[in-house]
């Protein structure tokens, strides 16, 4: 089967007949789940299996945003509440080894939760570096305000996911921390000079350039491209993401339906590919929009195909885990940073 270079959501708790027909006619490379798709472990596992069966691929990527804190699609009563990224940063400030251990352990437990459901990709870690006055959309999701610290914790998180057989997605490259607007609702513009961006925002991503997948930021960096957000900027993708940062893995857009982007869904999709992204992400489950994306999306081929295959091949062997002992250790570590 030839897959198209997009990732799609679906509308509800089970796959509908018209969604199934669409997916079979225009098979995406992968899928993404949201809270609207989640009820019980058994239901989620059935949905994930149905999505993979629909494209005839047991290793089809199924993504989720399971960070902990405010961004956690799986939650009570069936799944634990995990701490936000800022908690790891607070522990790191007390003792770097403890901060890194906590981040890695938390990610390993998240990986175990996801693997049980057949989910194999987590949109984590974040390497965004927030600044005072920025929009709260990142806020306590971030690991800190020092690039080296952020990169170290992000590395620990990615290693914890990998130990559980889950692919990490680095976000939001080349940085969402300075944005003064939530890109779900509007287009943020960052006017910081390039030399400052290189020392802060971009610096946090550089040590993570070897990760297999990354998600772009819907943010305008006026010093580099005053018109286009990073997602649709050939300049930023080539000069910053691929060049300065050195990321050579699979580059996917943030959600094409977010209000930070302008034009029709079809126009946005074309712009994303023209800028140099490998994969377009569409999240909201609107079937009409999904068809627009598919119509403008090429088959996954060439260097994008190779990057996708390399990402899937990078999933390591699952390491043993005593989940009870790990949860007890995590609780004890997290409590050191206060509530």
Determine the distance from the C-alpha atom of residue 322 to the mean position of all C-alpha atoms in its chain, rounded to a whole number.
27
- Three-state secondary-structure class, residue 193: coil
Residue pair 8/289 in contact (Cβ under 8 Å)? The answer is no
Q: Which residues contact 62 (CB under 8 A, 6 or more apart)?
A: 30, 31, 32, 33, 48, 51, 52, 118, 119, 120, 121
Q: Which helix (H) or strand (E) holds 19?
A: helix 17-25
148 burial (CB, 10 Å; 0-12 / 13-18 / 19+) is exposed
User: What are the residue ranges of helices labelled H in 284-322?
Assistant: 287-295, 302-313
Give the model's pLDDT for residue 337: 65
Q: Are 55 and 3 in contact (CB under 8 A)?
A: yes
pTM, rounded to two decimals: 0.96
Identify the bridge partners of residue 8 per DSSP, sorted by sequence position. Answer: 31, 282
* First-residue to last-residue Cα distance in the chain: 50
Could you give the dihedral angle defined by the CA atoms of residues 294, 296, 300 and 301, in that order, rounded to the nearest 10 degrees?
160
Pair of tokens at residue 84: 């936000």
Query: Using alpha carbons only, how large is the chain's radius of gyration in Å?
Result: 19
CA distance 12 to 15: 7
- Catalytic site residue 255? no
pLDDT tens per residue, range 95-124: 999 999 999 999 999 999 999 999 999 999
Distance, CA of 230 to CA of 213 (rounded, Å): 16
Choosing from 18, 184, 191, 210, which is the catalytic residue? 184
**pLDDT of residue 8 exceeding 60:** yes
What pLDDT is recorded for position 184?
82
Lowest mean pLDDT among 11-15, 17-21, 34-38, 181-185: 181-185
Task: Give the pLDDT of residue 339.
Answer: 47
- Chain center to CA of 153: 16
Q: Which of 233, 300, 296, 234 is nearest to 264 (CA)?
A: 296
Backbone angles phi, psi at 253, to 5 degrees: -75, 160
Give Cβ neighbours of residue 108 (< 8 Å, ≥ 6 apart).
160, 161, 163, 164, 319, 321, 326
Residue 260: pLDDT over 70: yes
Question: What are the distances in angstroms from CA 165 to CA 37, 113, 312, 317?
Answer: 22, 11, 10, 6
- Which of the residue ranges 108-117, 160-169, 216-225, 328-337 would you say has the lowest mean pLDDT? 328-337
Q: Which whole number is the average pLDDT over 294-299?
A: 98
Strands (E), the chain: 4-8, 28-33, 62-64, 66-68, 71-72, 121-122, 167-168, 170-173, 189-190, 213-216, 220-221, 250-255, 279-282
pLDDT-based confidence at residue 1 (cuts at 50, 70, 90)? low
DSSP code, position 299: B
3-state secondary structure of 83: coil
Is the pLDDT score of 229 beyond 70? yes
254 flagged as catalytic: yes
Q: Which of 254, 255, 278, 282 is catalytic?
A: 254
Q: Give me the pLDDT at residue 133, please.
A: 87
Question: Burial of 338 by CB count in 10 Å (0-12 exposed, 13-18 middle, 19+ buried)?
Answer: exposed
């Amino acid at each position: 089967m030839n897959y198209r270079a997009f990732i799609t959501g679906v509308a509800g708790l089970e796959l509908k007949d018209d969604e199934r027909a669409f997916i079979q006619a225009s098979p995406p490379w992968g899928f993404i789940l949201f809270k609207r798709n989640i009820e019980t472990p058994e239901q989620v596992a059935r949905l994930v299996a149905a999505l993979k069966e629909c494209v005839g691929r047991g290793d089809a990527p199924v993504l989720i945003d399971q960070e902990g804190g405010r961004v956690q699609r799986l939650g009570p009563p069936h799944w634990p509440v995990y701490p936000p990224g800022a908690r790891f940063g607070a522990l790191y400030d007390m003792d770097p080894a403890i901060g890194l251990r906590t981040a890695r352990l938390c990610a390993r437990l998240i990986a175990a939760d996801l693997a049980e459901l057949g989910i194999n990709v987590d949109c984590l870690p974040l390497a965004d570096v927030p600044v005072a006055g920025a929009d709260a959309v990142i806020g306590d999701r971030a690991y800190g305000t020092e690039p080296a610290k952020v990169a170290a914790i992000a590395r620990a998180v990615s290693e914890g996911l990998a130990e559980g057989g889950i692919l990490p997605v680095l976000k939001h490259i080349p940085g969402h921390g300075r944005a003064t607007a939530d890109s779900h609702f509007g287009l943020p513009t960052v006017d910081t000079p390039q030399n400052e961006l290189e020392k802060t925002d971009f610096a946090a991503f550089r040590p993570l350039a070897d990760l297999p997948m990354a998600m772009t930021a819907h943010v305008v960096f006026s010093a580099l491209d005053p018109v286009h957000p990073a997602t649709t900027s050939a300049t930023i993708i080539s000069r910053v993401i691929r060049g300065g940062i050195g990321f050579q893995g699979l580059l996917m857009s943030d959600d094409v339906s977010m209000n930070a982007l302008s034009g029709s869904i079809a126009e946005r999709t074309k712009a994303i590919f023209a800028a140099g992204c490998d994969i377009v992400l569409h999240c909201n489950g609107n079937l009409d929009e999904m068809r627009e994306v598919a119509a403008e999306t090429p088959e996954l081929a060439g260097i994008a195909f190779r990057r996708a295959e390399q990402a899937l091949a990078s999933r390591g062997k699952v390491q043993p885990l005593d989940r009870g002992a790990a949860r007890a250790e995590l609780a004890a570590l997290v409590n050191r940073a206060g509530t």
